[in-house]
Amino acid sequence: MTVHSGFTKVSLDAFEGVSEEPGVAKPDPIMVADSVTRRFGGLTAVRVDHFEIQREAITALIGPNGAGKTTFFNLITGFDKPNAGHWSFEDEDITGLSGYKVAQRGMVRTFQLTKALSRLRVIENMKLGATGQAGERFLAALIRPRWRDQEQAIEEKADELLERFKLSHMRDEFAGELSGGQRKLLEMARALMSDPKLIMLDEPMAGVNPALAQTIVGHVKTLADDGLTVLFVEHDMDVVRTISDWVVVMAEGEIVAEGRHASIVANPRVIDAYLGAHHATPLDRSEQDRQLAEAETVLDEEESRTEVE
């Protein structure tokens, strides 16, 4: 990897002395978010007071389904607009910056529902990931000598990454012909083409067989070893155990706990969030009906929102 870093390798040590409480400050944050709020009608999907990502560490963002993890993720990557809040990346304010500009700054994301570009070859998928391509400008595109050398360099880099992610044999196939797991790998490899500083993976292990999940875990570890910062969303706590340096737990839109994995699993607030202390089970029939109706209005609003977008 060409990612350069002036820092020495950090692992658990970076969190030495960091107290394990929600919204705690990190020694060297690459990203800081403050009072980010996103409401869907009457429901507050995200209400994060303070959130920091430690540089060159693997941070896991976990929480039960519907905790607002992906919504928060969409907000800070510029794929959704918040009702309030601001956040910065590498000490520069990037609040409300559109998704593509966020990516250009080195904060690249993947999606929960894998977005392989089906009718493009695997190698084309990869080459698309490189940023700052001269040949992507309309007029320069017409004159091949203007971008031929760069294209060649990009292709070499793409081939190296394909090799590393064991996709070389699929190089010239359509991405649509890959299996679900291979698509996850392709999406990760493609994101690396831009030499990101922070890579944000939305449920990279979801819907993948256990063997491949292990491979993905291995790749995520390698990323961090190469000096990247990784933030990944996951709802399965066991997956998180092996790879994360730091775990952030979200429930009902808020950060309820932070810390190392060992202390997180013992935290009563986390157990509440996962198993439900009192809010998950309806008290009686009318309560249940009310909750269902509430959920439906929220879903409808969300649907109409996505339609407009």
Which residues, at least 6 apart from 280, have a Cβ–Cβ distance to it below 8 Å? none
The answer to the question of residue 308 lying near another protein (CB under 8 A) is: yes
Q: Is 38 in the site for another protein (CB under 8 A)?
A: no
Q: How many CB atoms lie within 10 A of CB 288?
A: 12
> What is d(CA 137, CA 141) in angstroms, rounded to the nearest whole number?
6
> Within 13 A of 174's CA, how many CA atoms are on the CB side?
5
Q: Residue 260, interface with another protein (CB under 8 A)?
A: no
Residue 144 makes contact with another protein by CB under 8 A: yes
With CB under 8 A as the contact rule, the residue among 3, 99, 112, 298 that binds another protein is 99
**Does 133 sit near another protein (CB under 8 A)?**
yes
Tell me the residue type at 200: M
Closer to another protein at the Cβ: 76 or 240? 76
Nearer to another protein, 18 or 134 (CB): 134
Q: Report the site for another protein in 61-80 (rule: CB under 8 A).
A: 77, 79
* Residue in the block written with tokens 């063997």: 211
Instruction: Pick from 26, 38, 47, 127 the residue near another protein by CB under 8 A.
Output: 127
Q: Is 152 in the site for another protein (CB under 8 A)?
A: no
Among candidates 274, 225, 227, which has minimal Cα distance to 247? 274
Between 151 and 252, name the residue whose CB sits nearer to another protein.
Answer: 151
CA 102 distance to own-chain centroid: 13
CA 72 to chain centre: 10
Token pair for 25: 């400050």
Q: Which residue has the tokens 């990203």?
A: 31
The three-state DSSP-derived secondary structure of 38-76 is EEECCEEEEEEEEEEEECCCEEEEECCCCCCHHHHHHHH
- Determine the interface stretch with another protein among 11-19, 47-55, 56-64, 107-115 (rule: CB under 8 A): 107-115
Per-residue contact string for residues 209-248; x = within reach of another protein by CB under 8 A: ----------------------------------------
Decide whether 52 or 187 has the Cβ nearer to another protein: 187
- In the block, residue with structure tokens 């403050």: 34
Using CB under 8 A, list all residues that contact another protein: 77, 79, 98-101, 103-104, 108-111, 115, 117-120, 124-125, 127-129, 131, 133-138, 140-142, 144, 147, 151, 174, 176-177, 187, 190-191, 193-194, 307-309
